[in-house]
Structure 1
Amino acid sequence: MKKIFSFKLLMIYSIILSISACFSLYYGSVQISFLEIRNLSFLDNNIFTKIMALRVSGFFQAAMVGAILALCGYVLQKILKNPLADPFILGISSGGICFASVFILLNSSALFSSMHLFYFFPLQSAFALIGCLTSFFILLFVRKKIKSSHDEYVFPVIGIIINSFFTSILMMVFSIAKPEQLSEIHNFLIGTLQPVSFYQILVFFILSVFPLIIIFRNSKYFDHMLFSDDFGKSMGINPIKIRNKTIFMICILISLVVSSAGIIAFVGLIIPHIVRKIHRFSSLFECVICMFLGAIILVNADTLSRTLFSPAQLSVGIFTAILGAPALSFILFKRNLV
């Protein structure tokens, strides 16, 4: 019965995501009605084709970014045993953004000036991966030096320090960047789902498949890792090895996200709490539900950013911050952390 219910639940989330996709495709700064779609002469319009191509690619980008952020937040909260763990709060995203911005800065140098566009996104993601790993190594190093058992406090505080450090470097990069580079770095900082090509979406998808497979394979151990490492070893698993491997996969996924959309805050923090509140399933199924819900929320946030103040288009990071900041306050008060 539980498997049947799980399948029905996935179908419900799939339908909601499909409805969100329809709104994402047909609403924006330029609204397209369903009646206009039936007009074959309008379909031949080159402007219509370009608009739909941008919106289709934008939908897939928002769905993948939202799904990955929600999944990474859920997994980090499990393996770090911290309800406030999130790529943004822990500073992982800031490190990735900083190194991706440095790559943009170097792109005008002789070393990268002749680089074909085909290699740009993978190389930028590689730089972002170095930044994500650097942030997380700093996080773990500082945590080991602090003699405190209150991880609920310590991890977010260290994350604030890491965010401040990499933000200062970003400001330095921002001050020496060329005018044509400033816009892209600025979009990274505020979290913007920029128009992307289908090639970039394909690369994003291909590079994310292997990390997702590893995370799903390790998901059966996440519940055991909520307890001590000794308990995990008594269950026949190696918690340290699983944690390190999973964190590396998360850094790969976050590097892809920040290279594509920049910093989008609070999605990875709020979605796991919502899923655990309304669903009680295995970690694998909760991972899938987190991905669906993250995709739904970010797709709708992107649609709102394009329609609320049309024809102006706002950053999707604004909407996630507006929703996430009060939600974080609610979590802190409910857990008596403030």
Structure 2
Amino acid sequence: MEAVAQNTKSLSKKKGFFFWTLALSIVLLAAIICAIAVGSTYIEPGVVYKVLLNKLSNGSIFEINWNVMFENIIWEIRFPRVLLGAICGAGLAICGVLMQCVTKNPIAEPYILGISSGASCGAVGVIVLGGISTLGINSITTGAFVGSMISGALVFAIGTQMGKSTSTTRLVLSGMAISTIFSALTNLLIYSADNSNQAKNALFWTIGSLGGAKWDVLLLPFIVLVIVMIIAFVMSKSLDILLLGDDNAIILGINVKLVKSIILILATFLTSTLVAITGAIGFIGLVVPHICRTIGGSDHKKLIILSSLVGSIFLILSDVVARALFPPIEIPIGIITSLVGGPFFLYLISKKNYEFGGKD
């Protein structure tokens, strides 16, 4: 009887996970259509749907009876922006799952290693020191990526003693120290800006935006995201065991140092890639994993899938609010994610039955 009960419970969990995956996928598609439709020029969702199908099928499924300008707005401006939002939201959420697992810290997030501070310092340095006029607009992205990789490498080298240490405390403290140093350098650069436009551009970038979305910038973050998701999915059993503690993981045959090093490198590279394009968008990597644990428990295979869907939806809808709240002015998206994510996170941690790792 006990075996039957366990099988029934397991089947019920699978059905629940399938339901949530299907429901969130539908919501994601609806969010994409909504985000493309809303803007300074409103476009009917039906037109958005038809234009996308025509473009994606490389044919003429629907007869073109709409303004050609709408087609250009949808395909060249809004669709790349929405796709970047989906990629960035999924990536930050998955990095949050990985960092919370490695550090076993419920408030860990992708930026805990100082990656966002390093990226901000690199980008602001390019803006303030005049690198745009010398190297072009892509120099901001390059500067951000270089800064984020430097900060990530420093934290990895110091916090893990080049992979020799598994101390979570040492890693987190190293991240905090490096983050503080790069933040101070960023503020110093902003303070030394020659004019208010430089300071404004620098500040806008540090809070995050999807405004730089173009077709040619989507490929790299998408490839990195897919690679990280596949590797994390393959290592999901090891991630589950890590939650039991390092000593128990070693007893069960897990090479803790190797697993942690791989996860840290993956999370650092993915976060650096995303932050270099969109700037520092906060709270997604912190809030989304907790939302998904309340849905699917602490199984990392489920968490990776659910987090990617919820993260995409969250960032896409946040961008809609950022663009639609005070048109035609665009609010930095990091402000919206923090305003929405902060209170929701407080609600989650105020629940009496809330525990890190969720319920099985």
**Which residue number in structure 2 is paired with residue 218 of structure 1?**
235
Shift of 1:316: 1.1
Q: Deviations over 1:165-223 (max 9, x none)?
A: 22210122224456675554323211111132101011221233333332222222111
Say which SS state the counterpart of residue 227 (structure 1) adopts.
coil
How far apart, CA to CA, are the structure 1 residues paired with 2:168 and 2:151?
Answer: 26
Q: Deviations over 1:87-127 (max 9, x none)?
A: 23553321232234345567739xx946796x985675344
The alignment status of 1:29 with 2:53, answered yes or no, reads no
Greater CA drift, 85-94 or 131-140: 131-140
**Which residue number in structure 1 is paired with residue 288 of structure 2?**
271
1:282 and 1:297, CA in 2 relative to 1: closer, same or farther beyond 3 A?
Answer: same
How far apart, CA to CA, are the structure 1 residues paired with 2:76 and 2:269?
Answer: 27
Residue identity matched to 1:171: N
* Alignment map for 1:139-178 (pairs within 5 Å): 161-177=177-193
How far apart, CA to CA, are the structure 2 residues paired with 1:240 and 1:50?
Answer: 49
- Give the superposed CA RMSD: 3.5
How far apart, CA to CA, are the structure 2 residues paired with 1:267 and 1:116?
Answer: 27
**Which residue number in structure 2 is paired with residue 16 of structure 1?**
27
Q: Deviations over 1:99-156 (max 9, x none)?
A: 34345567739xx946796x98567534422223334555567xx99xxx996xx987
**Which residue number in structure 2 is paired with residue 62 of structure 1?**
85
Say whether the 8 Å CA contact 1:29–1:313 is kept in structure 2.
no
Consecutive unaligned residues of structure 1, counting only runs of 5 or more, are: none
1:266 and 1:90, CA in 2 relative to 1: closer, same or farther beyond 3 A?
Answer: farther
Say which SS state the counterpart of residue 321 (structure 1) adopts.
helix
Shift of 1:326: 2.8
**Which residue number in structure 2 is paired with residue 195 of structure 1?**
212
Shift of 1:260: 1.2
How far apart, CA to CA, are the structure 1 residues paired with 2:344 and 2:168?
Answer: 21
Shift of 1:299: 0.5
Say whether the 8 Å CA contact 1:92–1:133 is kept in structure 2.
no
How far apart, CA to CA, are the structure 2 residues paired with 1:150 and 1:10?
Answer: 32
**Which residue number in structure 2 is paired with residue 284 of structure 1?**
301
The alignment status of 1:99 with 2:115, answered yes or no, reads no
How far apart, CA to CA, are the structure 2 residues paired with 1:116 and 1:92?
Answer: 21
**Which residue number in structure 1 is paired with residue 148 of structure 2?**
128
State how many pairs are aligned.
326
How far apart, CA to CA, are the structure 1 residues paired with 2:254 and 2:172?
Answer: 28
How far apart, CA to CA, are the structure 1 residues paired with 2:212 and 2:176?
Answer: 30
1:233 and 1:124, CA in 2 relative to 1: closer, same or farther beyond 3 A?
Answer: same
1:181 and 1:193, CA in 2 relative to 1: closer, same or farther beyond 3 A?
Answer: same
Report sequence identity in percent: 28
Say whether the 8 Å CA contact 1:122–1:203 is kept in structure 2.
no
Say which SS state the counterpart of residue 223 (structure 1) adopts.
helix
How far apart, CA to CA, are the structure 2 residues paired with 1:240 and 1:83?
Answer: 20
The alignment status of 1:6 with 2:17, answered yes or no, reads yes
How far apart, CA to CA, are the structure 2 residues paired with 1:116 and 1:23?
Answer: 30
How far apart, CA to CA, are the structure 2 residues paired with 1:219 and 1:289?
Answer: 14
Greater CA drift, 234-243 or 99-108: 99-108
Consecutive unaligned residues of structure 2, counting only runs of 5 or more, are: 1-10, 51-62, 355-360
Say which SS state the counterpart of residue 101 (structure 2) adopts.
helix
Say whether the 8 Å CA contact 2:282–2:338 is kept in structure 1.
yes
Say which SS state the counterpart of residue 39 (structure 2) adopts.
coil
Greater CA drift, 69-78 or 184-193: 184-193
Greater CA drift, 272-281 or 204-213: 204-213
Residue identity matched to 1:233: I
**More relative contact order, 1 or 2 (CA 8 Å, 6+ apart):** 1
TM-score, with structure 1 as normaliser: 0.82
**Which residue number in structure 1 is paired with residue 260 of structure 2?**
243
TM-score, with structure 2 as normaliser: 0.77
